[in-house]
Amino acid sequence: MVARKVFAIVLAGGEGKRLMPLTEDRAKPAVPFGGQYRLIDFALSNLLNSGLRQIVVLTQYKSHSLDRHVSQTWRLSGLLNSYVASVPAQQRLGKRWFSGSADAILQSLNLIHDERPDLIVVVGADHVYRMDFAQMVDAHVESGAAATVAAIRQPISLADQFGVIEVDADQPDRISRFLEKPTHPVGLPDAPGSVLASMGNYVFDADALIDAVKRDGDRADSGHDMGGDIIPAFVEEGRAGVYDLQRNDVPGATDRDRYYWRDVGTIDSYFEAHQDLISVLPVFNLYNREWPIFSQQLNSPPAKFTRDARGALGTVIDSIVSLGSVISGAHLERSVIGPWAMVGSGAHVADSILFDRARIEGGATVRRAILDKEVVVEEGAQVGIDRQQDLARGFIVTESGITVVGKGSRIRARA
């Protein structure tokens, strides 16, 4: 990394309405993922692995579990001024909450003034990916841009799902236009069938970011959003560059997961991202020891797989099972099981995600479902089998047929 002081800001105030009911009692970055992780762990792991040691997490919406996770999990020694600090909305500019991601930074400028960095890395807290930000920082400095946007190549047919970056053929590292979910996008000069989609990660010259959020704060017509307002302003001034993720070389990456990035903003994308974890050659590899994903290490016993009381064997196929869980004479397939979950005799769980302390009792069936923490599926009950029954129980069922059961629910067998 270049010899400049770099400060990192993680934007973690998101409400995550499209992930309801998983976000009913927690902020989106605090939603569990992959069994033992929280979504924010991916952003923080990337920053820490990149050598960044001064990191603040800006929180707002139902932040208790997120603040607790950061304080319990991400404790640095404090030596050499190293820290990961959770900073809630402080109403420093009046009796109001953050009105957008840019306003969150505006209301937190005291954090920047305290550290006086040369460069600021700003990242979202709810994407699943690996990235070496040190390489992006170096590219930013070399480019001479005031702001640099990280981007990933996506098929042009998916352009209407992203903020899309257009570049000129003679200046492929400079942004010519920044379009929000365009319906008629222009393909890349070197790949007409692809577009560059913003990853929601940025590097700024510190003075330029401070000036930009102050000017934005004075605009009554602004949405005060980093992607919707701040970056377009830099583009209009000709001071915005792009960093293609294909330039990023993360140690230990495989050809299969090298450029993986998922925005898990909907139930369907959240479910699909879990399916990416469990194949023999996973699309996203949690087992990369050279670039680990850190999280809270629970004081828990190993997962246990047993016969049931009658001696019947169970089976576990293509699944992740977290610490403290017990699978007893049950069938488990293509599923992710959180800490201290229990699946009992004769139960059948397939294509599902169980959060911590979920309990599936004997003979129950769970299929294409997401069960929040402490959900109990009673003996012989079914989830994800009968769509109309699940809707009648008050559960959310997506168009693709994924049933989502809220925290602490108890599901009884049909009478």
Binding site listing: 163, 180-181, 198
* Alpha-carbon gap, residue 171 to 316, rounded angstroms: 52
What is residue 304's three-state secondary structure? Answer: strand
The string over 153-190, giving b where at least 16 C-beta atoms fall within 10 Å of a residue's C-beta and e elsewhere, is bbebeebeebbbbbbeeeeebbbeebbeebeebbebee
* Alpha-carbon gap, residue 22 to 32, rounded angstroms: 9
What is residue 151's three-state secondary structure? Answer: strand
Q: Is the dihedral of CA 240, 245, 246, 248 positive or negative?
A: positive
* Alpha-carbon gap, residue 179 to 200, rounded angstroms: 13
The tokens describing 222, both together, are 């602004």
**Which residues contribute to the annotated binding site for alpha-D-glucose 1-phosphate?**
163, 180-181, 198
The tokens describing 238, both together, are 């000709």
Distances (CA, A) of 2 to 14, 225, 332: 32, 29, 49
Residue pair 383/403 in contact (Cβ under 8 Å)? The answer is: yes
- Omega prior to 251 cis, within 30 of 0: no
- Angle in degrees, 0-180, between the axes of helices 64-73 and 40-49, rounded to the nearest 10: 30
* Alpha-carbon gap, residue 134 to 114, rounded angstroms: 22
Q: Residue 260 is inside which H or E element, if any?
A: none
- How far is CA 246 from its chain centroid? 20
* Alpha-carbon gap, residue 214 to 251, rounded angstroms: 38
Which candidate, 117, 120, 146, places its Cα nearest to that of 10?
Answer: 120
